[in-house]
Amino acid sequence: METFLGVVLLAAFIIGFVVYHKAAKEEEARKAERKKAQVKAIREAGDEPLTCPQCGSTQISAGKKGFGLGKAAAGGLLVGPVGLLGGFIGSKKVMVTCLKCGFSWKAGTR
C-alpha cells in the first residue's frame, strides 16, 4: 500500500513538474514573439535617432526652459509688480541642446 501511494505521489509530482515547465516555455515564447513584433514595428516606422541639425551628433539633452529673469525685469519696469510674471512666459517650452556643439532649438522644430 505504501509503495503504491509513493508511486502515485511521484507520478503526480512529475506531471506537475512537466506542466509547469511547459507553461514557462510557452510564456517565454510569447515574450519573444512580442519582442520581435516591437522590433519589427520600430524598423517599419523608420524611427531614427535624434541628431543635432548643425553637427549631426546624437549626444543631445532636452529640458524645459526656466524663469526668464530678463523678461521679468522688463515686465517689472514697464507694468510694475504684475509685470514680474512675464518671466514665466515661455517657461514650459522644451529646449533641446547638443552636448557636442552647444546648439539649441525648440523641440518639434528641426
Helix ranges restricted to H, the chain: 2-45, 69-79
**What is the spatial distance between Cα 98 and Cα 71, in angstroms, rounded to a whole number?**
25
The domain total for the chain is 2
What average pLDDT does range 91-100 have in this prediction? 79
What average pLDDT does range 9-23 have in this prediction? 87
In the three-class reduction of DSSP (H, G, I as helix; E, B as strand; rest coil), residue 28 is classed as: helix
Position 52 in a domain: no
Please tell me which of 8-12, 85-89, 91-95 the model is most confident about, judged by mean pLDDT.
8-12
As a whole number, the mean pLDDT across the chain is: 76
Q: Are 41 and 67 contained in the same domain? A: no
Which is higher by pLDDT, 73 or 84?
Answer: 73
- Give the domain extent around 31: 1-47
pLDDT in tens, 26-69: 999 999 898 888 777 766 766 667 788 888 888 888 876 655 55
Position 54 in a domain: no
Q: 96 has which bridge partners?
A: 62, 105
